[in-house]
């Protein structure tokens, strides 16, 4: 280790004491997040406990010419939290207090490290919840949700994270503390709050968030529809929307994943159906009964072989548990998976799905599909054994084709997982040089020197500041 | 260094992180190194990539409470329990196992343990024992002998618990008898189950102890265990029919007399070995609901209390931080008594001033109150 | 290059004229600015996708007619003005609780940059996190960062039943505890009007539960709204007095006089200034107006 780094560490320790870690074990772990990417190199990790600490750490990093990377729970799937160029990692996991809940105004102030599900559990006795419900909600943080503008099954009706954030306290890359947005109806000025959400940690570090809290609906109906083919399920989804119903959630699973899920939760997911549709409507009792009936009718018109309604809350919870742990259940089929995330117009769901199966076949990979069908948000999981030599090349090649097929169908690169390092190479396929240039201008307004989470989202080579930021540290220092 | 973990199994963790919130040490530190995902990644580094066993790496492994909260949370069903046991064994061999072996030796010598405990009891009364050790408030000076009432079931009496909390055994026996079962306490014939040895990385030793228990008991007779830790270990390692006491009695609820429930608000603290390993924490509620007026749930999803067998002694700092979380959770529901079916947990909690009882003691008390009134 | 891009060109001060219904917001445009009009017309509309692609110069009236034909609607206001103007002004519909926030409903924007280039941000699907959020930047930008040519908006089904009801004695702040999802709760100090929407039995049930806090009668529509919008916190609304209409639970208040522009923090001004300079280095877009 060079003296320069000793000096950096010493400065950080003065602020955080033993909440700075720079040992080889820690650095090895923080090189990664939940994505399959393994190319990061971590500098010291700072477990901050207050906005002021974050500010001081950012300033110290700046003084030492180092960039910073904010990290929540590290469940991101696009590599957003992966450190490039040995930056100082700012872990927000210890800033996990729920500061204030105001049910009259329906807001809660929380620190960024609050776990999504912990917030909802805290609100349950008060009759409220935090609407965005990513499948990772038991671990992912509000700061990470804001970072990735995360969605979840129930975002079909309720909207993704962006619709549920009122104000954000941010430590900018130069150490300034700023509050974006506000609790008033239509804060004046540019919508910097809205722009910051989904910024993947590149626009600054969230240190406090005012979230909207949503009253729990008095009545919920959950339907499980079975189909012979994913095409029938997809057609049903389109028809439901076309009929003017916006269910709280509409999720589709294909046969292989349904079997794996059923092995895990055992609630009666049909093993013989080609696909299942999990649809949920919520609201007042009469309306949900009407909508549940209409969805069931539309399903039957489109080939549903069976329609079942969850008889109890327990059954409902179990059905959802099955859906939400689907990614893990694939471990029964193969030890590793690569989860893709693209969106296509609903009318193209069935065609794109068939294309996905074809692409997987072509690359000799197993694939299962479980997705937010209501939003047209596909989640193909490519299954493989990571020990197999050369396998990652095939997986990435198939992934590239899936992205291509989605864009060709009029879709987008990512529905909720973000770009990070994963989709960075594909940005050119969706956007022109000029489009990307404007995204970069947006970012430079927040962080002119590219000090916050450099090297993500915008394709490398686009911004010289990034490259500088990444090259600043000789490889061997933290390697 | 080879940690002795099956490399294919080690590969099954997809680092999704879904286990993080269920891990007490990650919850209190927020540090990936003290998380299941982190520990598994380090095991990989050490076993597959020959990473050096630095202080930080061994600390990551040593601070694992082995509560196995991470196992049920993992949708990929990664067998973390095997990983950490194997890792501990390899580490113990690597460091030399004498110190821990010596520390655990008295557990296998019941009379000696009881003698030592009585000496401790005297010392306690002379106020020579610091409270933070978390021993029961008043260790018994003398113990009534066990007696047998039939051979329908064995009551496994074990080592420390028999010396320190024999009253719990008596209570359990009375409840079993009230349900119509003749009970044979195993006593010194079947001593320590070996759980603590196995956790401390002395698997072979633990295995030997379990075998000697199996040899001493009639395999046809079910063994009832009222210590969650011993029960978990025996369920995994013994060839006999092992039941947790509440689990067994909840199955025979109709055999138990209907009585007026005790007027007391009880919060259930789930010992990890009951909830995460045996996955038999619900029967405690079934049973208690019949015998106490209010059963309250803690709001922390069964997160570990930090006791972890010898953990509270070996890792006092982390153990206390984890306990703080549990205490906060207990404080939020304000129960009169916390029911815990594991001696380690109840000692750990009572050392922090929490009033704890074994669920069997509460049931026994309800039954006794009733028989004295009728 | 689009015709609009040619029209805007790469040099000289320029401003887009919409319906002039909010022409003075953000200050007076410099007189030397060349006035241009954005193209108009609905480009494509597929109700089953719940999205509509529409050119910025289209009137909101025309858009509304198109959507209504398919029993849908969107978050834009329905009274006067153009789609482009509404998007860059960024005001929400008075029934925002039922229709959704404008900023969440703009899925994709196509605009002409200060350099005269056609820029696209966002994407055509209802869900999208591909890169930095240019659509949200454009909403409320008063045409100071780019001149909007076309947008893709999210649409929503019109509920089977919509009913305004009015009470003279109900506490407007108690409505939220009685109705699960009111589409609007407006209060003018003397009476409260609530928009109930959904399936007919739900509307009836909500009305029924409202009777616990007052006497209600059905009315034809909302209050007449004063001209100027104030943006307050929902918790501040009970302090309203004078002539006003307040949107309870939202915080918007309509008054006869304009709201004094609230002071933004120096850091917000700094970011905003950089934003303006990065997007329009020569200051040619809508000169004289400022969004902050
Ligand atoms: C099994 C599984 C299921 C998932 N399901 C879903 C799903 O249904 N929907 C969905 O949208 N996502 C899903 N995800 C992805 C992921 O969980 C979400 O993106 C989540 O919001 C990330 O939160 P985190 O706390 O783990 O953030 P991290 O992974 O730590 O960070 C994510 C990004 O946000 C930035 N960031 C984190 N905290 C801050 C902060 N305080 N300030 C500024 N930037 C910050 C990081 O730099 C990074 O770019 C899933 C992931 C897994 C593993
Ligand atoms: C009686 C009445 C009631 C209203 N009620 C509501 C309401 O309840 N909710 C609501 O949200 N709005 C309401 N509005 C406002 C209105 O509908 C829109 O905000 C307004 O339509 C702005 O559009 P315009 O075409 O009139 O813009 P103009 O007034 O022509 O222009 C406003 C500004 O936007 C700029 N601009 C216009 N088009 C573009 C473009 N394509 N690209 C870049 N910049 C552009 C102009 O240069 C100017 O700076 C109401 C208006 C009226 C007259
Ligand atoms: S142990 Fe299981 S839950 Fe934890 S990271 Fe690995 S696969 Fe995910
Ligand atoms: S056993 Fe307990 S302490 Fe150890 S990693 Fe698992 S959850 Fe954490």
Confidence band of B374 (pLDDT split at 50, 70, 90): very low
- With a 6 A CB cut-off, is A80 part of the ligand 1 pocket? yes
**A454 assigned to some structural domain:** no
Task: Name the nearest CA neighbour of A376 among C158, C128, C136, C73.
Answer: C128
Asked whether residue A30 falls in the same domain as residue A117, the answer is no
Q: What's the pLDDT score for residue A477?
A: 44
Smallest Cβ–Cβ distance between A75 and the set B12, B16, B22 belongs to B16
- With a 6 A CB cut-off, is B25 part of the ligand 4 pocket? yes
**C263 assigned to some structural domain:** no
- Atom of ligand 1 at shortest range from CA of A200: 49
Nearby residues of A10 by Cβ (< 8 Å), 6 or more positions away: none
* Residue B275 per-residue DSSP state: I
* A476 has pLDDT over 50: no
* A320 has pLDDT over 50: yes
Report the number of distinct structural domains present in chain C: 2
Query: Side-chain half-sphere of B251: how many Cα atoms within 13 Å?
Result: 9
Asked if C16 has any chain A CB less than 8 Å from its own CB, the reply is no
Those of residues 228-267 in A touching chain C at CB distance below 8 A are: 238-239, 241-242, 244-246
Nearby residues of A185 by Cβ (< 8 Å), 6 or more positions away: C92, C231, C232, C233, C234, C247, C250, C251, C252
- With a 6 A CB cut-off, is A51 part of the ligand 1 pocket? no
A61, A91, A121 - which closes a domain: A91
Kindly report which listed range (A122-131, B73-82, C154-163) carries the lowest average pLDDT score.
Answer: B73-82
* A210 has pLDDT over 70: yes
Smallest Cβ–Cβ distance between C231 and the set A185, A290, A415 belongs to A185
Q: Which SS3 state, helix, strand or coil, does residue A62 take?
A: helix
Confidence band of A475 (pLDDT split at 50, 70, 90): very low
C-alpha dist (Å) from residue C129 to A427, A445, C150, C275: 12, 19, 20, 21
As a whole number of angstroms, the distance between CA C100 and CA A157 comes to 10
Asked if B32 lies within 8 A of A29 by C-beta distance, the reply is yes
What radius of gyration, in Å, describes the C-alpha atoms of chain B?
Answer: 20
Asked whether residue A319 falls in the same domain as residue A342, the answer is no
Report the number of distinct structural domains present in chain A: 4
User: H-helix or E-strand containing C51?
Assistant: strand C51-55
Smallest Cβ–Cβ distance between C125 and the set A105, A411, A418 belongs to A411
To probe the interface with A, which of B7, B13, B17, B80 has the most A CB atoms within 10 Å? B17
The residue whose CB lies within 8 Å of the most ligand 1 atoms, and thus the one to mutate among A49, A71, A443, is A71
- C103, C74 in Cβ contact below 8 A? no
Task: Name the nearest CA neighbour of A53 among A95, A108, A109.
Answer: A95
Asked if C208 has any chain A CB less than 8 Å from its own CB, the reply is no
Ligand 1 atom 21: residue of nearest CA: A145
Question: What is the CA(C26)–ligand 2 centre distance, in A?
Answer: 12
Q: Which SS3 state, helix, strand or coil, does residue A109 take?
A: strand
Asked whether residue C105 falls in the same domain as residue C121, the answer is yes
As a whole number of angstroms, the distance between CA A260 and CA B75 comes to 11
Q: What's the pLDDT score for residue B193?
A: 87
Mean of pLDDT over chain C: 96
Q: Which SS3 state, helix, strand or coil, does residue B29 take?
A: helix
* A1 has pLDDT over 70: no
Q: Residue A387: its chain B contacts at CB < 8 A?
A: 8, 11
Ligand index nearest the alpha carbon of residue C23: 2
CA C210 from centre of chain: 29
- Atom of ligand 4 at shortest range from CA of B80: 6
Sequence ranges of the domains in chain B: 7-96, 106-250, 257-373
Confidence band of B135 (pLDDT split at 50, 70, 90): low
The range of the structural domain enclosing residue A64 comes to 3-91
Asked whether residue C134 falls in the same domain as residue C181, the answer is no
- With a 6 A CB cut-off, is B78 part of the ligand 3 pocket? yes
- With a 6 A CB cut-off, is B18 part of the ligand 3 pocket? yes
Question: Counting every residue, how long is chain B?
Answer: 374
As a whole number of angstroms, the distance between CA B127 and CA B121 comes to 10
Q: What are phi and psi of B290, to 5 degrees?
A: -75, -25
Task: Name the nearest CA neighbour of B117 among B144, B145, B141.
Answer: B141
Q: What is the pLDDT of residues B226-245, one digit of tens each?
A: 999 899 999 999 999 999 99
Q: What's the pLDDT score for residue B372?
A: 60
Q: Which chains touch B (3 or more CB pairs under 8 A)?
A: A
- Say if the ipTM goes beyond 0.90: yes
pTM for the whole structure: 0.93
- C259, C229 in Cβ contact below 8 A? yes
Asked whether residue C145 falls in the same domain as residue C176, the answer is no
Q: What's the pLDDT score for residue C180?
A: 92
Q: What is the pLDDT of residues C164-196, one digit of tens each?
A: 999 999 999 999 999 999 999 999 999 999 999
Asked if C129 lies within 8 A of A106 by C-beta distance, the reply is no
The range of the structural domain enclosing residue C241 comes to 161-255
- With a 6 A CB cut-off, is A166 part of the ligand 1 pocket? no
Residue A382's CATH number = 3.30.70.2740
* B173 has pLDDT over 80: yes
Q: Both tokens of residue A353?
A: 């799905």
What is C237-291 written as a DSSP string?
Answer: GGG--SSEEEETTT-EEEESSPPPPPPPPHHHHHHHHHHHHHH-TT--BSTT---
Asked whether residue C37 falls in the same domain as residue C71, the answer is yes
- With a 6 A CB cut-off, is B88 part of the ligand 3 pocket? no
CA of C123 vs chain A CAs: smallest distance (Å): 6
Q: Both tokens of residue C179?
A: 């109705």
Q: What's the pLDDT score for residue B130?
A: 59
Task: Name the nearest CA neighbour of C215 among C165, C164, C163, C167.
Answer: C167
Q: What is the pLDDT of residues C191-216, one digit of tens each?
A: 999 999 999 999 999 999 999 999 99
Ligand index nearest the alpha carbon of residue A136: 1
Q: What's the pLDDT score for residue C245?
A: 97
A407, A424, A441 - which closes a domain: A424
Beta bridge partners, A251, equal: A278
As a whole number of angstroms, the distance between CA A340 and CA A333 comes to 17
Q: What is the pLDDT of residues B96-132, one digit of tens each?
A: 755 666 666 666 676 766 666 666 666 666 666 655 5
Pairing of strands C147-154, C106-112: antiparallel
Asked whether residue A281 falls in the same domain as residue A228, the answer is yes
Question: What is the CA(A73)–ligand 3 centre distance, in A?
Answer: 13
Asked if C118 lies within 8 A of A434 by C-beta distance, the reply is yes
Q: What is the pLDDT of residues A359-398, one digit of tens each?
A: 999 999 999 999 999 999 999 999 998 889 999 999 999 9
**A446 assigned to some structural domain:** no
Q: List alpha helices for C124-265, DSSP H.
A: 134-138, 200-210
Question: Counting every residue, how long is chain A?
Answer: 479
Asked if A94 lies within 8 A of B30 by C-beta distance, the reply is yes
Asked whether residue A376 falls in the same domain as residue A420, the answer is yes
Q: Which SS3 state, helix, strand or coil, does residue C172 take?
A: helix
- A349, A373 in Cβ contact below 8 A? yes
Q: Residue C101: its chain A contacts at CB < 8 A?
A: 163
Stretch B247-256: mean pLDDT: 93
C135, C158, C181 - which closes a domain: C158
**C268 assigned to some structural domain:** no
Q: C244 vs B373, which has greater pLDDT?
A: C244
The percent of residues above 70 in pLDDT, for chain C, comes to: 100
**C288 assigned to some structural domain:** no
Asked if B11 lies within 8 A of A386 by C-beta distance, the reply is yes
Asked if B42 lies within 8 A of A75 by C-beta distance, the reply is no
User: H-helix or E-strand containing A45?
Assistant: strand A45-47
A181, A215, A249 - which closes a domain: A215
As a whole number of angstroms, the distance between CA C275 and CA A116 comes to 32
Q: Do domains B7-96 and B257-373 have the same CATH topology?
A: no
Ligand 3 atom 4: residue of nearest CA: B19
Asked whether residue C190 falls in the same domain as residue C150, the answer is no
Residue A278's CATH number = 3.30.70.2190
Asked whether residue A223 falls in the same domain as residue A319, the answer is yes
Question: What is the CA(B12)–ligand 3 centre distance, in A?
Answer: 8
- With a 6 A CB cut-off, is B117 part of the ligand 4 pocket? no
As a whole number of angstroms, the distance between CA C66 and CA C52 comes to 10
Question: What is the CA(A341)–ligand 1 centre distance, in A?
Answer: 13
CATH of domain B257-373: 3.40.50
Q: Residue B38: its chain A contacts at CB < 8 A?
A: 29
Mean of pLDDT over chain B: 88
- With a 6 A CB cut-off, is C250 part of the ligand 2 pocket? no
* C120 has pLDDT over 70: yes
Q: What's the pLDDT score for residue A312?
A: 93
Nearby residues of C244 by Cβ (< 8 Å), 6 or more positions away: C188, C189, C226, C253, C254, C255
- With a 6 A CB cut-off, is A79 part of the ligand 1 pocket? no
- With a 6 A CB cut-off, is A147 part of the ligand 1 pocket? yes
Q: What's the pLDDT score for residue C15?
A: 98
As a whole number of angstroms, the distance between CA B268 and CA B292 comes to 12
Stretch C48-74: mean pLDDT: 96
CA of C31 vs chain A CAs: smallest distance (Å): 23
Confidence band of A479 (pLDDT split at 50, 70, 90): very low
Asked whether residue C207 falls in the same domain as residue C129, the answer is no
As a whole number of angstroms, the distance between CA A398 and CA A419 comes to 17
Asked whether residue C72 falls in the same domain as residue C195, the answer is no
* A430 has pLDDT over 50: yes
- Atom of ligand 1 at shortest range from CA of A415: 11
Asked whether residue A304 falls in the same domain as residue A341, the answer is no
Q: What is the pLDDT of residues B309-358, one digit of tens each?
A: 789 888 999 999 999 999 999 999 999 999 999 888 998 999 999 999 99
Q: What's the pLDDT score for residue B106?
A: 67
Task: Name the nearest CA neighbour of A332 among A380, A372, A383.
Answer: A383
- With a 6 A CB cut-off, is B16 part of the ligand 3 pocket? yes
Confidence band of A464 (pLDDT split at 50, 70, 90): low
**C105 assigned to some structural domain:** yes
Asked if B56 lies within 8 A of A117 by C-beta distance, the reply is no
Q: Residue C270: its chain A contacts at CB < 8 A?
A: 176
Asked whether residue C100 falls in the same domain as residue C192, the answer is no
Question: What is the CA(A380)–ligand 1 centre distance, in A?
Answer: 18
Ligand index nearest the alpha carbon of residue A76: 1
**A470 assigned to some structural domain:** no
- B17, A73 in Cβ contact below 8 A? yes
CATH of domain B7-96: 1.10.1060.10
- Atom of ligand 3 at shortest range from CA of B73: 3
As a whole number of angstroms, the distance between CA C55 and CA C58 comes to 6
**A166 assigned to some structural domain:** yes
Q: What's the pLDDT score for residue C203?
A: 97
To probe the interface with A, which of C128, C258, C290 has the most A CB atoms within 10 Å? C128
As a whole number of angstroms, the distance between CA B143 and CA B256 comes to 27
* A273 has pLDDT over 90: yes
Residue C105's CATH number = 3.30.465.10
Pairing of strands A219-227, A342-343: unpaired
């Amino acid at each position: 280790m060079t003296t320069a780094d000793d000096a950096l560490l010493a400065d950080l320790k003065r602020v955080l004491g033993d909440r700075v870690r720079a040992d080889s074990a820690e650095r090895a772990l923080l090189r990664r997040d939940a994505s399959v990417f393994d190319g990061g190199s971590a500098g010291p990790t700072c477990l901050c406990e207050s906005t002021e600490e974050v500010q001081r750490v950012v300033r110290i990093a700046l003084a030492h010419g180092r960039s910073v990377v904010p990290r929540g729970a590290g469940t991101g799937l696009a590599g957003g939290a992966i450190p490039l160029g040995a930056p100082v990692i700012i872990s927000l996991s210890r800033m996990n207090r729920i500061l204030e809940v105001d049910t009259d105004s329906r807001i809660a102030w929380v620190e960024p490290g609050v776990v999504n599900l912990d917030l909802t559990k805290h609100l349950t006795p008060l009759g409220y919840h935090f609407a965005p419900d990513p499948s990772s909600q038991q671990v992912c943080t509000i700061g990470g949700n804001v970072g990735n503008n995360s969605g979840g099954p129930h975002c079909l009706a309720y909207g993704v994270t962006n619709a549920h954030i009122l104000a954000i306290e941010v430590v900018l890359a130069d150490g300034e503390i700023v509050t974006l947005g506000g609790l008033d109806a239509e804060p004046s000025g540019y919508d910097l709050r809205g722009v910051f959400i989904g910024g993947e940690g590149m626009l600054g570090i969230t240190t406090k968030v005012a979230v909207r809290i949503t009253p729990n609906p008095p009545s919920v109906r959950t339907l499980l529809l079975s189909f012979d083919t994913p095409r029938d399920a997809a057609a049903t989804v389109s028809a439901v929307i076309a009929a003017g119903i916006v269910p709280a959630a509409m999720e589709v699973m294909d046969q292989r994943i349904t079997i794996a899920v059923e092995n895990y939760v055992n609630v009666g997911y049909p093993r013989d159906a080609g696909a299942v549709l999990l649809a949920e409507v919520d609201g007042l009792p009469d309306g949900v009964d009407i909508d549940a009936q209409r969805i069931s009718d539309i399903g039957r018109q489109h080939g549903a072989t069976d329609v079942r309604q969850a008889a109890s809350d327990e059954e409902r919870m179990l059905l959802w548990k099955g859906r939400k742990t689907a990614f893990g259940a694939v471990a029964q089929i193969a030890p590793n998976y690569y989860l893709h995330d693209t969106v296509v117009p609903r009318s193209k769901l069935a065609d794109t799905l068939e294309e996905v199966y074809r692409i997987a076949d072509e690359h000799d990979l197993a694939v299962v599909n479980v997705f937010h069908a209501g939003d047209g948000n596909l989640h193909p999981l490519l299954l493989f054994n990571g020990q197999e030599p050369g396998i990652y090349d095939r997986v990435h090649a198939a992934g590239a084709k899936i992205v291509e097929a989605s864009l060709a169908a009029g879709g987008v690169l990512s529905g909720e997982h973000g770009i990070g390092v994963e989709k960075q190479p594909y940005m050119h396929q969706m956007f022109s040089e000029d489009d990307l240039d404007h995204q970069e201008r947006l970012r430079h307004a927040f962080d002119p020197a590219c000090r916050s989470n450099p090297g993500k989202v915008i394709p490398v080579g686009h911004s010289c500041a990034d490259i500088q930021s990444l090259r600043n540290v000789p490889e061997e220092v933290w390697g | 260094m080879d940690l002795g973990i099956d490399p294919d199994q080690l590969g099954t963790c997809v680092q999704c992180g879904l286990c993080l919130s269920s891990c007490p040490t990650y919850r209190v530190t927020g540090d990936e190194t003290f998380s299941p995902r982190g520990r598994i990644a380090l095991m990989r580094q050490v076993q597959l990539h020959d990473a050096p066993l630095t202080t930080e790496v061994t600390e990551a492994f040593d601070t694992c409470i082995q509560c196995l909260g991470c196992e049920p949370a993992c949708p990929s069903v990664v067998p973390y329990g095997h990983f950490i046991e194997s890792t501990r064994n390899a580490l113990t061999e690597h460091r030399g196992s004498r110190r821990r072996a010596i520390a655990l030796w008295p557990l296998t010598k019941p009379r000696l343990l009881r003698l030592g405990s009585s000496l401790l009891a005297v010392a306690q009364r002379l106020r020579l024992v610091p409270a933070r050790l978390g021993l029961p408030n008043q260790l018994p000076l003398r113990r009534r002998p066990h007696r047998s009432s039939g051979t329908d079931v064995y009551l496994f009496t074990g080592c420390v618990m028999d010396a320190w909390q024999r009253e719990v055994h008596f209570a359990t026996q009375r409840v079993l008898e009230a349900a119509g079962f003749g009970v044979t306490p195993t006593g010194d014939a079947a001593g320590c189950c070996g759980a603590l040895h196995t956790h401390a990385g002395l698997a072979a030793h633990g295995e030997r102890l379990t075998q000697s228990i199996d040899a001493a008991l009639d395999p046809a007779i079910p063994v009832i265990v009222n210590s969650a830790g011993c029960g978990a270990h025996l369920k995994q390692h013994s060839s006999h029919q092992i039941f947790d006491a509440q689990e067994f009695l909840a199955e025979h609820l109709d055999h138990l007399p209907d009585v007026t429930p005790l007027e007391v608000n009880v919060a259930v603290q789930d010992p990890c070995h009951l909830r995460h390993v045996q996955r038999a924490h619900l029967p405690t509620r079934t049973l208690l609901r019949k015998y106490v007026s209010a059963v309250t749930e803690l709001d922390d999803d069964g997160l570990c209390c930090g006791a972890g067998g010898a953990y509270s002694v070996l890792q006092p700092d982390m153990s206390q931080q984890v306990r703080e979380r549990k205490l906060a959770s207990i404080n939020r529901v304000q129960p009169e008594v916390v029911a815990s079916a594991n001696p380690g947990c109840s000692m750990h909690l009572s050392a922090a001033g929490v009033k704890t009882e074994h669920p069997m003691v509460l049931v026994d008390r309800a039954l006794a109150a009733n028989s004295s009134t009728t | 290059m689009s015709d609009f891009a040619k029209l805007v060109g790469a040099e000289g001060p320029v401003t887009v004229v919409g319906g002039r219904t909010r022409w003075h917001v953000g200050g007076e445009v410099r007189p030397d600015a060349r006035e241009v009009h954005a193209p108009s017309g609905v480009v494509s509309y597929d109700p089953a996708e719940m999205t509509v692609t529409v050119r910025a110069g289209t009137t909101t009236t025309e858009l509304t007619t198109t959507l209504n034909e398919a029993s849908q609607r969107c978050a834009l206001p329905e009274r006067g003005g153009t789609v482009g103007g509404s998007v860059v002004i960024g005001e929400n519909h008075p029934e925002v609780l039922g229709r959704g926030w404008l900023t969440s409903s703009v899925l994709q924007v196509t605009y002409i940059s200060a350099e005269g280039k056609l820029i696209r941000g966002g994407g055509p699907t209802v869900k999208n996190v591909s890169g930095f959020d240019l659509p949200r930047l454009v909403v409320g930008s008063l045409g100071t960062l780019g001149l909007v040519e076309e947008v893709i908006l999210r649409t929503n089904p019109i509920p089977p039943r919509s009913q305004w009801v009015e009470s003279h004695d109900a506490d407007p702040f108690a409505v939220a505890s009685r109705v699960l999802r009111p589409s609007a709760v407006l209060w003018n100090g003397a009476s409260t009007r609530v928009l109930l929407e959904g399936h007919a039995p739900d509307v009836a049930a909500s009305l029924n539960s409202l009777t616990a806090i007052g006497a209600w009668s059905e009315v034809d529509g909302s209050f007449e709204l004063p001209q100027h919008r104030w943006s307050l916190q929902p918790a501040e609304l009970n302090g309203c007095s004078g002539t006003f209409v307040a949107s309870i639970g939202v915080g918007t208040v309509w008054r006869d006089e304009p709201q004094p522009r609230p002071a933004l923090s120096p850091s917000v001004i700094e970011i905003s200034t950089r934003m303006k300079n990065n997007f329009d280095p020569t200051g040619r877009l809508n000169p004289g107006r400022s969004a902050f």
